[in-house]
Chain A
Amino acid sequence: MTDITLKIREIATRLLQSDQVDVFVGWEKGPQEYQTRPFFVRRVEDVEKLVFNEYSIHNLTNYLLKYRDSTDRVGLVVKGCDSRGIVRLLQDNQFKRNRLYIVGVCCPGIKDPLKIAKNQSGLACPPNNEEIADKCTRCLVPNPIIYDELLGESQEPHNSGERFSEIKTIENMDPNQRYQFFEDTLTQCIRCYACRQVCVACNCRTCIFDEMKPQWVGRENSTTDNMMYHLVKAMHMAGRCIECGECERVCPVNIPLMLINSKLVKDMDHFFGSYEAGMEYVEGQKPPLSVYNPDDPDDFI
Chain B
Amino acid sequence: MCSCNCEQPLVPSIVEVIDIVDETPDVRSFYVKCSEGGVPYSVQPGQCSMLSLPAGEGMFSCTWQEGNEYQHYAIKKVGLLTEELHSIEIGQKLGIRGPYGNGFPVEACKGKDMLFIAGGIGLAPLRSFIKYCFKHRDDYGKIDILYGSRSYADLCFKDELFNLWPQEKNTQVYVTIDNAEPEWDGHVGFVPSYLEELNPNPNGKIAVTCGPPIMIKFVLQSLEKMGYIDDQVITTLEMRMKCGIGKCGRCNVGSQYICVDGPVFTRTQLRQLPQEW
Contact = CB atoms under 8 A, between A and B. Distances in A.
Interface string B72-93: 0000000110000000000000
Interface string A175-214: 0000000000000000000000000000000000000111
Contacts of A214: 80
Interface residues of A, number: 3
A200 to B, nearest CB: 29
A214 B80 CA distance: 8
Interface string B183-215: 000000000000000000000000000000000
A214 B83 CA distance: 12
B56 to A, nearest CB: 9
A212 B80 CA distance: 8
B26 to A, nearest CB: 16
Contacts of B80: 212-214
Nearest to A214: B80
A185 to B, nearest CB: 30
Nearest to A215: B80
B149 to A, nearest CB: 25
Contacts of B79: 212-213
Interface string B37-58: 0000000000000000000000
A77 to B, nearest CB: 34
Nearest to A213: B80
Contacts of A213: 79-80
A212 B57 CA distance: 13
Interface in B74-133: 79-80
B85 to A, nearest CB: 14
A212 B79 CA distance: 9
A59 B80 CA distance: 37
Interface in A138-167: none
Contacts of A212: 79-80
Nearest to B83: A213
Nearest to A212: B80
A213 B55 CA distance: 11
Interface in A207-229: 212-214
5 contacts: A212-B79, A212-B80, A213-B79, A213-B80, A214-B80
